[in-house]
Amino acid sequence: MDLKSKLFSRPAGENVPTGSPLIVAEDLCVKYEGEKEKSGDFKSLMHHRLSFNKELKFKAVWALRGVNFKSYPGEVLGVIGANGAGKTTLCRAILGLVRPDRGRLEVQGEVSSLLSLGTGFDREISGRENIVLNGMMLGLSRDQLNLLLPSIEDFTGLGRFLNHPLKYYSSGMSARLGFSIAAALNPQILVIDEVLGTGDMEFKERAVVRINELVSGSKMVVVVTHDIDFVEKNCNRALWLDQGQVVALGDPREVCAAYRDKVSAMARPQKKIFNIRETRTTIGQEETIRAEELGICFKLGKEPFWALKEVSFKVRDKEILGIIGPNGSGKTTLCRTLSGLYRPDRGFVDVKGDITALLSFGTGFNQELSGYDNIYLNGMMMGLSKEKISKLEKEIVEFAELEKVIHQPVKEYSSGMKSRLGFSIAAMLRPDVFIVDEALSAGDMAFREKATNRMQELLEGAKTVILVTHNMNIAEKVCTRVIWLQEGTVRYDGHPQKAVALYKDSVKRYQKMKKAFSQKSDVRLQQAVNCFGNGQYEMAEDLMAEFLKEQPLDLEVLEQYAKVADTRRNWAVAKKRWEELIRVADLAGVVPPYRANKRLEALDKILAEKP
């Protein structure tokens, strides 16, 4: 039996689906015909009619060809494949946004979707107002929204950020908001197309829990992702698409293993696919970036919000500086400040040399223009002459591997294809400082490795790279140094492995707090858990302090209260709180936690070493 027959013979691994299918695709085919495309709008039609390039004719592209599958209640179907494989088109077909040109597609039940970051959002209004706006667009009444609003707000974990306009949100914060709205509607079918890649570790875990809740209620979820590990761990079936056709459908472990083997075999000889090499370079002496006591304040409403507070660091040439931290910690604000989009309200920042920034996939693209035209548009926006762009054009297209679709409008591109094009344009400019803010999350496995290799190659020309990522493997291997940001402040700046370990430890503390408070009904404690998980430590402390005023003998809350001070590295405060925990335990006549005395000993050593 060949590989394909073996994979198709096991449709769901150990969990064979039962019941009536919610999605049935039989010989499903979808074709894009460029200027004659059936789904084109009036604006696109006029653009093509008035185009100066009359000789340019778009070839028909079959995005899906002969796709056959069934999906059942209680199933999490992971859809994988390279950029341009047809994954996004399949999602659009399930939602009814594109119609089959051949075959049939039947979808039973209500469908909710999250196809791309910011879809349906108004960037000028607040997150809370966008929840209401999206709910009304989906047909919910005001009464229904009032019932759902508290649970959606709580699930986002965005806290005070919900009062801020979306234009100040990072990609990860937008992903949180979009997923929370889509999942709260309790749909029969939830379709997610590559948006969880920008979420932090804590939110991804909550998203998985929510997906499992939907599935346990006889719902089904379709997840399009390039995170193969996610598919193996959280999906009970996997669908592998390539060039619009189904290559394999079945047990996630077998399908993902076959996908890895196929891409490795097709890799170019000079590249070692899926083996991201550790960056080895000698850090130069020239200082390329310097930030001193940097502060960025957004004057939103009555109270000012400090997105960055007293941030200080230096970067030298030949460094790849990684920036990690939860959504809302200030990473995107820092990138925008380094790029010159924001001016410091306190302190200063000095960047030497030319800067190129890739702040999110699709930034600066005109959706109605082709990928080819956008290369020239973006290049000219970056100050390059037409002649210079013409010399780079072929190299950019080849690096992006979008030769077959480069003359199609960008609005027809998937998130991964936009990610490829944006990175390829920016990287070919060979800037002195290259800033990448979570823009590779939608790229497929092969392209992400090629992009990381490209960033490492930039160092050979005495360049500096700033990389914001939620991929801890890339942070540890690719970056020469990592800064962990939390609540707009630098928690750690130094060795990549230690930075990642400390950050992961903070996520584990959140999980332990969530477990400790799971049986407590006080809403303040549940809010404190969400604030802690989102890096809003001060707010979490305030909520716990308010609770302890009323119930000062609660040992579980006292312990978590002390651990928050540990996380904030406020050693003197942490010592007082652990001492208070031991005192209360003695008053109550119970043995204090063993770790309390051990922690006090450790804190005494830390405080004794401090000058």
Tens digits of per-residue pLDDT, 16-39?
Answer: 456 789 999 999 999 877 544 444
Higher pLDDT, 417 or 461: 417
- pLDDT band per the 50, 70, 90 thresholds, residue 460: low
Contact criterion met (CB below 8 Å) for 113 and 91:
yes
Q: 113 in helix, strand or coil? A: strand
500 forms beta bridges with none
Same fold, 287-500 and 517-609: no
- Cα–Cα–Cα angle for 73, 74, 77, nearest 5°? 90
Q: How much of the chain is helix, strand and coil, in % rounded to 5?
A: 45, 20, 35
| Residue from 296, 333, 278, 338 nearest 313 by CA | 338
Q: Which residue has the higher pLDDT, 96 or 276?
A: 96
Angle between helices 555-567 and 496-516 (to 10 degrees): 160
pLDDT greater than 90 at residue 68: yes
- Of 92 and 202, more confident: 92
Write down the mean pLDDT value for the chain.
80
Count helices and strands (H / E) in the chain.
Answer: 21, 18
pLDDT, residue 492, reads: 92
Mean pLDDT of 316-341: 89
Per-position b or e across 581-605, b if 16+ CB within 10 A of its CB: bbebbeeeeeebbeebeebbebbee
Q: Higher pLDDT residue, 311 or 400? A: 311
Of 205-214, 337-346, 565-574, 597-606, the least confident? 205-214
User: For residue 419, what are its two tokens?
Assistant: 């990610």
Give the pLDDT confidence of 122-170 residue by residue, as tens digits: 888 888 898 888 888 777 788 888 888 888 888 887 877 888 888 888 7
pLDDT of 485-525, one tens digit each? 988 999 899 999 999 998 888 888 888 888 888 888 888 99
CATH topology of domain 287-500: Rossmann fold (3.40.50)
* 3-110+187-266 classified as CATH 3.40.390.10: no
pLDDT of residue 3: 44
What pLDDT is attached to residue 346? Answer: 94
Query: What superfamily does domain 517-609 belong to in CATH?
Result: Tetratricopeptide repeat domain (1.25.40.10)
Other residues' Cβ atoms within 10 Å of the Cβ of residue 262: 16
Q: What is the pLDDT of residue 157?
A: 78
pLDDT in tens, 577-596: 999 989 888 888 887 777 78
Give the tens place of pLDDT for each residue, 201-228: 777 777 888 877 777 775 888 988 888 8
State residue 276's pLDDT score.
Answer: 56
> What is the domain partition of the chain in residue ranges?
3-110+187-266, 287-500, 517-609
Choose among 432, 469, 473, 423: nearest CA to 450.
Answer: 423
CA distance 49 to 422: 27
